[in-house]
Amino acid sequence: MELTTVWFVAIAFFWVGYFALEGFDFGVGMLLPVLAKDDTERRVMINTIGPVWDGNEVWLLVAGGATFAAFPHWYATLFSGFYLPLLLILVALIARGVAFEYRHKRHDAQWQSRWDTAITFGSLVPAVLWGIAFANLVAGVPIDADKEFTGGLLTLLNPFGLLGGLVTLSLFITHGATFIALKTAGDIRVRARDLAWRSGLVAIVLTIFFLTWLQAKTGSPASAAVFAVAALLLVVGVRSAYVGREGVSFAGTFGAIALAVTGMFVALFPDVMPSTTDVAFSLTTTNAAATDYSLTIMTWAAAIFTPMVLGYQAWTYWVFRQRIGTHHIPTVELAAK
């Protein structure tokens, strides 16, 4: 296997990990004002992702860094052409991260309410924009002979791209609800489980419609098989939420997101950024790649450090595997708004 293919697979793996893990983080953040009835329950929800949310974002950093180093032309065209949505995602992630750290600094209801709003919108904005960005990335965008994106923001806000945003939004809400049901105890667990299957029904319809459309646009027999399994896992996850099998439910939504993203990269290969202007202008794993020397050095570094990072993250999830309930949260009297 050529090193360009190895790094395409590696970057796909990093994005799969990011969406499958950060997806439930986003879901928890978006559901903060929906599921929690008081500050104690909001703290329970935040504590379910407190030990892992920043580690989950490492997958994004690695995916972006690997793209920059392995496929510099892809990185340049993608980040310049998608500049505004990526900037909005960055601002939202910064606001969300700051909110997690500063929310508890003052025991004041108004102070915490503002940071809770930042968490919610800091989760909502990326959840939608990542779907829009990836839908356009796989379907293709206008690129000229100089490998430059020739469209604008409205180019990305096409029906297919907007559907992609709705799909990731619904999937992440459902994924977050299954995670909350898996990680909490008491009333919030029941409410999360109920919401998971209700939102999951919407996610099933949108996801199947989107994947079918994508398959018709640019799919292959291999991507069709992956998409079919992804849809099946989503149905299993939603059904399991309905009958109260929380572990299976979370595994189902996790697998559905992971395989849906995998299928998108399968459909994309060997392109990395198809051109709708002229197929000859498309960026591929060949014409967008770095030199063999750079890819070789990167491969050795990844072979050494990636297992270490995966091991540490797996250990973190194992340590914080227990359920959290309101009885675990110390009572704090908040100043009135």
According to DSSP H, which parts of the chain are helical? 3-35, 39-49, 53-70, 72-81, 83-102, 109-139, 153-156, 159-183, 187-218, 221-243, 246-268, 292-319
Residue 166's pLDDT is 97
Q: What is the pLDDT of residues 215-249, one digit of tens each?
A: 999 989 999 999 999 999 999 999 999 999 999 99
Say whether pLDDT at 333 is over 70: no
Provide φ and ψ at 266, rounded to 5°: -65, -45
Q: What is the mean pLDDT of residues 306-327?
A: 89
How far, in Å, CA of 329 to CA of 293, rounded?
53
Question: Quick check: 23 pLDDT over 60?
Answer: yes
Please provide residue 272's backbone torsions phi and psi, each rounded to the nearest 5 degrees.
Answer: -115, -20
pLDDT at 332: 62
Q: Bin 140: left if φ > 0, else alpha if -120 < ψ < 50, else beta.
A: left
Please determine, for residue 326, whether its predicted confidence score (pLDDT) is greater than 90.
no
pLDDT at residue 130, rounded to an integer: 97
Biggest CA-to-CA distance, the chain:
64
d(CA 230, CA 19): 14
Q: How many whole angstroms separate alpha carbon 240 and alpha carbon 250?
A: 9
Sketch the domain layout of the chain as residue ranges. Answer: 3-139+146-292
281-287: long-range pairs with CB below 8 Å, 24+? 281/143, 281/144, 281/145, 281/147, 282/140, 282/143, 283/71, 283/73, 283/74, 283/77, 283/143, 283/147, 285/2, 285/4, 285/5, 285/7, 285/8, 285/71, 286/4, 287/73
Examine the pLDDT at 334 and tell me if it is beyond 70. no
User: pTM (2 decimals)?
Assistant: 0.93
| 336 pLDDT more than 70 | no
Kindly tell me the burial class for residue 310, based on how many C-beta atoms sit within 10 Å of its own C-beta (0-12, 13-18, 19 or more).
exposed
The per-residue pLDDT of the chain, averaged, comes to 92
pLDDT at 91: 96
Instruction: Report the alpha-carbon angle 251-252-258, nearest 5.
Output: 85
**Is 60 exceeded by the pLDDT of residue 287?**
yes
Instruction: Please write the tens of the pLDDT for every residue from 127-186.
Output: 999 999 999 999 999 999 988 999 888 899 999 999 999 999 999 999 999 999 999 998
Q: How far is CA 12 from the centre of its chain?
A: 12
Q: 3-139+146-292: what fold? A: Formate dehydrogenase/DMSO reductase fold (1.20.1630)
